[in-house]
Structure formats: C-alpha cells, structure tokens
Amino acid sequence: MKKIFLLVIIMWGLAVEAQSAFDRGFEQGYKDGYCYDNKIGCVPPIAPVPPVPGIDESADSYKDGYNRGFLMGREAAKKEAGNKTGNSSSCDNNTYRGYRTATPKYVDYVYKPNYNLLSLKLQALQTLKKRAENYLENGQYKAAINVADRMLSIQPGLGVAYLYKSIAYYRLGQILNAYNYAEKAVRVNNTADYRKWRDNMELRMLAELIDLMKREKYGDILFITKNMWYSSEIKNLFRGLALYYVDRRKSKRYFRRVKHMELAQQYLKALKEKKYKPNPFAKKNSGSQTGESN
C-alpha cells in the first residue's frame, strides 16, 4: 500500500513539474476570468485542458497562458449565466419582495487589464501576421520588415516578428541582420523551428566570415563581429583572428573566450611562444607578411 501511495505522489509531482508556464498561467487565468463578473461567493470550476500555444504565443510565457485562460473562463461564465437566466425567469415573478438591505458593492483595487483591448490587439496581430507572410511569399521583403515592425509596436518581444525580419533580411542578402534577428527570435521563443532557422543562419554567417578571411578582409570581419548582438564562439574566434593580423596584442582575450574550437587554442599557443601563425584560410598563406610586423 505504501509503495502504491508513493508511486501516486511521484507521478503527481512529475505531472505538476511537466506543466509549462503557459499551462499554469492558463489555469489561473481561466479561474480569474470565470469569476471576473461575479467575484463574491464565486467558486471557479476546474480549468479545462490547456490549449496548444498559438504562433504568437510562447509555451514559456505565463502571461500568454493567463490571457488565453482569462478570455475562455469569462466566456464560459457568460454562457453558463445565459443558460440559467432562461430557467429562473418563472420563479422571479413569485419571489417574496419584502424589505431588502443594500447590495454590497465590491471594490477591487487590483489592476485588471482591458481584455477587450487585448482581444483587438490579438486580432490586429493575426491580420499583420498573414500580411507579412504574403509579402515574404511574394518577394516584398522590405514591406515584410515594415509589417514585422508594426507587430512589435503592438506586442514588443514577439518572437514571430523577429523571425519574419530575419527571413526578409536574409532574402535581401543582409546576413548580419538575418543572423542577429534569428538569434533574437530563438531567445524569445525557443522552439525547434526557430532553432533550425537560427542554426541555418549561423552556418551562413560562418561561411561569410571564412570567405572574408580568405580575402584577408580583416576590417570587414571586425565590423561584423562588433555588431553581432550576442556573444558566441564564432564571434569571439573570428574577432580574435582578425585582430591577430591587425593588432595582435588585442586578440588574446577573444581567443580565451573560445572553449570548444581547437583553432583558438593553436593561436593562444602561438602567442605564448611568440611565434607567428599565418592565416590558415588565405590562399598560399598570403597573409603571413601582414602580421610579421606586429
């Protein structure tokens, strides 16, 4: 019996832990929405199974789940109240009408968002989302970027808007912007599709930096790595490589930040031993003369 009880407790704990922030927010939002118009004595029902987050929602967002749950809970309460009204109309005519005390008025000092406005915002975002997708399909990439910016003005931090901007910039040949927005989209909405696109942009950025190393465009590499929004192995490695052939003393700190690329360790060893290491990407190591004077 004790083993069965322990198993039940463990399974219950796993189920609770498996809930996403969206699911927890949905359950609380559903209860609050159900009792929103009838706060005194209201006993909310058990919330239904949380729905799957939409394209403009995140499984890691408690707020997204709460908003969805609130709207569904309030709608369920209105529907239930409408059903009860039809059944109780005949009893109201015979109700004893004696002395009545004043109806208590509940004062809620807790801020409640305007959910009608929230509904309008969601509708606007859905309209803009379809418009952005149409622009991307038709090759109108600058228009898609403008629409994505409008989406972000309505809902700051919206992952799908960052994704649309990344795709549009990539189609326009602007690899740096495409890479930055792809990474930002993943940091907001870490899903498999977003990660797949980010990984693709990372490969494109790597190819771009290698090509610049082959052509010894160290100034271009420094510009790109300086304007990468987030620190990464690629950023630190190639910034270190470019600095090695421009101002070798400043390259060491960037190589030290690279933990999983052998090439960075080779350059650190060369710096420690005060030996010059030619550009491994340049044809016939033509960059070897560039760094000897450093």
The answer to whether residue 207 sits within a structural domain is: no
Is 152 within a domain? no
Show which of 84, 103, 125 is a domain's final residue: 84
The pLDDT tens digits of the residues spanning 21-55 come to 888 888 998 888 888 877 677 888 888 888 887 77
CA 104 to chain CA centroid, Å, is 45
d(CA 294, CA 81): 81
In a domain, 199, yes or no: no
CA dihedral sign of residues 175, 176, 178, 183: positive
Q: Is the pLDDT of residue 183 over 90?
A: yes
- In single-letter form, the type of residue at position 18 comes to A
Query: Among 84, 108, 134, where does a domain finish?
Result: 84
Tokens standing for 100?
């009545």
Question: What number is the average pLDDT over the span 73-84?
Answer: 81
Mean pLDDT on 137-163: 95
Query: Does the structure show a pLDDT above 80 at 86?
Result: no
Q: How many domains does the chain have?
A: 2
**pLDDT per residue over 243-291, tens digit each?**
999 999 999 999 999 999 999 999 999 999 999 999 999 976 544 444 4
Look at residue 21 in the predicted model and tell me its pLDDT. Answer: 85
Average pLDDT, the chain: 82
60 assigned to some structural domain: yes
pLDDT at 33: 83
Q: Is residue 156 part of a domain?
A: no
Would you put residue 157 in left (φ > 0), alpha (ψ -120 to 50) or beta?
Answer: left
- The per-residue pLDDT for 73 is 85
Question: Between the CA atoms of 79, 84, 89 and 93, what dihedral angle is there, to the nearest 10 degrees?
Answer: -130
| Domain enclosing residue 264, as ranges | 232-294
Whether 179 is in a domain gets the answer no
- pLDDT for 5: 44
CA dist 12 and 155 (Å) reads 36
Instruction: Please indicate, yes or no, if residue 184 is contained in any of the structural domains.
Output: no
Crossing angle for the helix pair 233-244 and 262-272, to the nearest 10 degrees: 30
Lowest mean pLDDT segment, chosen from 92-106, 180-194, 250-264:
92-106
For residue 120, being part of any structural domain is answered with: no
**59, 84, 109: which is the final residue of a domain?**
84
Q: Is the pLDDT of residue 92 over 50?
A: no
Least confident stretch, 12-21, 140-149, 192-201: 12-21
